[in-house]
Amino acid sequence: MGLIVQKFGGTSVANAERIQNVARIITDTYRQGNSVVAVLSAQGDTTDDLIEKAQEINPRASRREMDMLLSTGEQISCSLCAMAIEALGYPVVSLTGWQAGVQTNSTYSSAKIKKIRTERIQAELDRNHSIVIVTGFQGINKYDDITTLGRGGSDTSAVALAAALKADLCQIYTDVDGIYTADPRYVKGAKKLDEITFDEMLELASLGAQVLHNRSVEMAKKYRVNLEVLSSFTKKPGTKVKEVAKQMEKTQISGVAKDKNVARLALVNVEDKPGIAYKVFSLLGQKDINVDIILQSIGRGETQDISFTVKRSDADQAKELLEEHKASLGFDRIDVNKEVVKVSIVGAGMLENAGVAAKMFGALYDADINIHMISTSEIKVSVLLDESDANAAVQAIHDKFFEE
């Protein structure tokens, strides 16, 4: 028994039947003696549909008005869910972000939560023993205007509320039943994890495993909110995300992820002298182009090559920018390859296990897959490969770590 925050995503509340299903999950939890705060997203594609409506009227609508519009999606799902709970005979109240005390900065459309004044929610829980339903994705700024937190922001609303209310658990209900060792849609033998650490989850999320909104995981880590990801469609246990997870001794890693949003740039025959790398990467930094893997070749007399990866969508801009400074940087040409992919293994236990990287490279060698670049961090090894090799590579690596 305790205080549980439950978040339900758009697919979980997409229609009347699903809202009734969610109402049952919430009231079951309440009946077991818990206080429940539920945070809901807008139904199904509502947010996309609202954006489309706005575009018909004014494709350049201000962000303030967009937030006024988009925040209505969550009001619909929350009030409907409260009605479903009323029908089941339980005390319930639905609250907007403003009523729930969610205070944000004033960056419309991607606001950050600054503080949550929990008095109202606390009163509803304590005095009225109500189930409290809160609109995800929205808050209010210092001008009393409605703000939204950016697409997918309801996860962050839920974690922020869990932190502010010092909840015992924050359950994120979605349409998958947890975090897997690889994307189960493409990888044979992908297994659901019982537990994963915040750090591993952050790596997997930024590598393209789209289960939780990244900001929500960062926030959960910071405020030590116990998270659980589970499906609203099945009754199976989900995956717990926490500070320290059970060691995966046998497998050494927690997952394999692939990220297609990468491109490799190579500066060929750059002058081999001090300050060149500094110049190249400051230029990119000034334009907010993030560089990921960097490789500098051994000099051949006067020159050397510098290759690096950026987001695929940044590749052309990065190339243009460097071309503009060709004279001062002194290189022959820039090669751009957008048909590459980054495949990574992630595991908190990696540090203590020598040979994890070698095992990954061995799997790729056995599958006859060529590696272009390698980078490592404390809990991650990434390789850059041809995009055509991506799926085979993920499968081969996954087999090596999880099938043996």
Q: Which residues bind Mg ion (CB under 5 A)?
A: 10, 41
Q: Residue 232, interface with ligand ASP (CB under 6 A)?
A: no
Q: List phi, psi (to 5°) of 99.
A: -65, -30
Q: Residue 10, interface with ligand ASP (CB under 6 A)?
A: yes
Residue 239 in contact with residue 196, Cβ under 8 Å?
A: yes
State which residue has the least CB distance to Mg ion. 10
Binds ligand ASP by CB under 6 A, chosen from 152, 255, 347, 349: 152
Pick 100 or 322: Cβ nearer ligand ASP:
100
Q: Residue 255, interface with ligand ASP (CB under 6 A)?
A: no
Residue 309 in contact with residue 384, Cβ under 8 Å?
A: yes
Pick 120 or 151: Cβ nearer ligand ASP:
151
- Which residue in 236, 239, 198, 252 sits closest to 397, CA to CA? 252
Pick 10 or 238: Cβ nearer Mg ion:
10
Pick 210 or 290: Cβ nearer Mg ion:
210
Binding flags for ligand ASP, 34-73, as an x/- string (CB under 6 A): -------xx----x-------------------------x
Binds ligand ASP by CB under 6 A, chosen from 6, 27, 147, 154: 154
Q: Which helix (H) or strand (E) holds 277?
A: helix 276-286
Task: Decide: residue 53, CB within 10 A, 0-12 exposed, 13-18 middle, 19+ buried.
Answer: exposed
Site for ligand ASP in 132-151 (CB under 6 A): 136-137, 151
| Sheet strand arrangement including 35-40 | 92-95, 131-135, 35-40, 3-8, 169-174, 227-231, 239-242, 195-197
Query: Over the range 119-148, which residues count as b (16 or more CB within 10 Å of their CB) and which as e?
Result: eebbebbeeeebbbbbbbbbbbbeeebbbb
Site for ligand ASP in 187-216 (CB under 6 A): none
Q: Are strands 333-337 and 303-310 parallel, antiparallel or unpaired?
A: unpaired
d(CA 306, CA 220): 38
Binding flags for ligand ASP, 108-137, as an x/- string (CB under 6 A): ----------------------------xx
d(CA 263, CA 301): 28
Pick 43 or 395: Cβ nearer ligand ASP:
43
**Rounded least distance, CB 400 to ligand ASP, Å:** 36
**Rounded least distance, CB 73 to ligand ASP, Å:** 5
- Interface residues with ligand ASP (CB under 6 A)? 10, 41-42, 47, 73, 136-137, 151-154
